[in-house]
Homo-oligomer: A and B are copies of this chain.
Amino acid sequence: LATDAHSLTALVRRWSKHSHLSPDDRSALLALPYTRKSFGKDAYIVREGQQTNDCALLLKGFAFRQKLLRNGSRQIISIHIPTEFVDLQNALLGMADHNVQSVDHSEAAIIPRAQLMDLAASHPAIRKAMWIDTLIDASIFREWVVNVGRRNSRSRIAHLLCEFAYRLSVQGTDPPGHFELPITQEQLADATGLTAVHVNRVLKGLEADGLIDRNRRIISFPNWQRLRDVGDFNPRYLHAPELAP
């Protein structure tokens, strides 16, 4: 039980960055009931069209939101890292409007929607943190519209790498120097609106130009500033005040 309570600690820490949480807020948050659930590779955490009775907070592993088109293609809408909610909007909206899939093995805290809303109702600061969370999600969606709508393949991928590195570095202790890209090139293609073949060529191009280094799935950034330029990356949209650009 102690380790279970620990699971939400990371959430408390993350939310504390943009919202002041009192000791009472923190303990109320940590007292949230939830069930821990494991997901295998490609398993669905949320399905489009499903009635929603709970929200999933990612504890381990990665997950992405996606929509499937009638012609069979897939668009990935966002990629999530541990301590992030993958469907907080479902605390209020009655039906899932997109899918959420586990990248590899992952674990999530499944929190009943009613308890989450009760907590929000009784604790203004938590409510605010929840709302801000969904607003930052929305801001990231907007940036993704820009990314797939108006940037060429090279910039798109550079931008996605920058975002991911940045979000991971805010999360942990690493500077945006390197990280493990947990997704396949096909998933990267679905996230950027390209094909896997072309993603491969672009990655090789970025590597050839000294903008990234690849070793297995580990990506490092020999020249972070130049990659930022190529990706036209400005972290403002992430609304993470604790890190300067």
Which of A48, A89, A139, A146 counts the most B-chain CB atoms under 10 A from its CB?
A146
CA distance A65 to B141 in the complex (A): 13
The answer, yes or no, to whether A232 is at the interface (CB within 8 Å) is: yes
Q: A73-B150, A134-B134, A134-B135 are in contact. Are A97 and B237 (CB under 8 A)?
A: yes
Instruction: List CB contacts (< 8 Å) of A62-93 with chain B.
Output: 65, 67, 69-71, 73-75, 77, 89, 92-93
For A, the interface residue count at a CB cutoff of 8 angstroms equals 46
The answer, yes or no, to whether A216 is at the interface (CB within 8 Å) is: no
- Does more than half of chain A's interface fall in helix, strand or loop, or is it mixed? helix
Select the stretch in A20-28, A32-40, A124-132, A165-173 that faces chain B. Answer: A124-132
Q: Contact mask A86-114 → B, CB, 8 Å, 1/0? A: 00010011010110000000000000000
How many monomers of this chain does the complex have? 2
Which of B65, B77, B138, B192 lies in contact with A134, CB distance below 8 A? Answer: B138
Chain B residue contacts of A92, Cβ below 8 A: 128, 131-132, 135
Q: Contact between A148 and B145 (Cβ–Cβ < 8 Å)? A: yes
The answer, yes or no, to whether A222 is at the interface (CB within 8 Å) is: no
